[in-house]
Structure 1
């Protein structure tokens, strides 16, 4: 087999100086072909070159032949956004039950919801806490998806809280414990559910973010935050329980967060909504999620909110 240079989605976004969601949108539309290695999508260098050349000649007075691979009329790429491994399982079930081909974007809740508003994502996972109502997700959805009909479905519930070093030597047990100069935090990126959870509780407790040691130090996943705490780069981080168990550090549970899925209700999404509904309600899917541990499936598949 000949050696062909290829790039990850992140590498292509850096090369073209655009967001990863822009690249996912190009892939979804079939403008840039991809292949998969396990969970990771890659783009061949020659296909990227073809796309760039096509854009360069797009304003030429002669017709331009599109050089991307044709997409089957019977299949459609959809983008599922979010980081939890359950979304990968959902994607596999969708592909088994339908002709949809799933692409994965590992972008945070708020940025993904905005991308859905802009027509990029098809299924967005959300875990955004609202400090004024104590509710998850719906207050944000109502403000951002103005003018769009949608359905909000529960995927699961899970514990969120603090990652701390073994034995919790600094006795970090509440949000106000972060407001100490000797406690160093590692944060999540703007737009992520964990970042919103932290910011909302700082607001509720009248703690300025400038008082939080390490607030500007960001990582982009639960695992990377947990790993930073494990290695001693920080004393505490905010995230979900499962990552703490994977890394082998202690976890201080603070809240049970509702992890939901949102899909726009438009004619071309009717089949997708029905497929996802069937999967979430199936015993097979729920048993598979339950076997992973640390997830509550008591509301899985229930409709949290729906517009008509």
Structure 2
């Protein structure tokens, strides 16, 4: 399997890091294109997956109900009063999106503009939704988001190097929506905590990983779907989170029923991953090599 992955990276001219693991062993940790081993990476929108997992911890603790309206918790909110945690985590709030480059120092107020349509009707990707999740989590837990992140991760995975970037400004501006940094092994530890149900009990994990077919299989903070993969005897259930920010692309993919994890970071902003469900392209071929050999 490792040789198949290595051959794929060479064929694609890949520059970055690929990690393949199961619940106990790292099976491949390949770096290519001059990338140092154990690099600290920008996690980009995998940050949103972490925010969703932090929210579900509060759901499990009884502090949050996914379908409770949340706008009343935010002073001077003019957004639709029926917006819930679930809407925020699935990007179905109906709020107008604002480019991160146009955010003020505290973007919460700017992200609370009037709704363009009622919540729950359409999926529309917004960084603002996760900014609001972070602010709400601070209110619910009484802890600054950075402190909540550090403490909850430490409790689940032990020592780690995950943090929210404070520089450069163009990265730090994303906050909870895209400014997390850490190593590939840090991300592996997070994924393993999810797979092993150390992060959440099984019923809450299932809620988080239930994709909505009518909305493109978006789940809470990720996408969850089945896809046919070359070499596998039947379609594979996948939980996928992708991201791109300021010179880095990332793919974080779990196959829960197989107990396998595939993590990819690349420095190439224009690297073409393809779509798994199309049965071709880099991500599909990598999963075929990693999961189906």
Both structures adopt the same fold (TM-score exceeding 0.5) = no
TM-score range, shorter chain: under 0.3
**Rg larger in 1 or in 2?**
1
Give TM-score, length-normalised by structure 1: 0.24
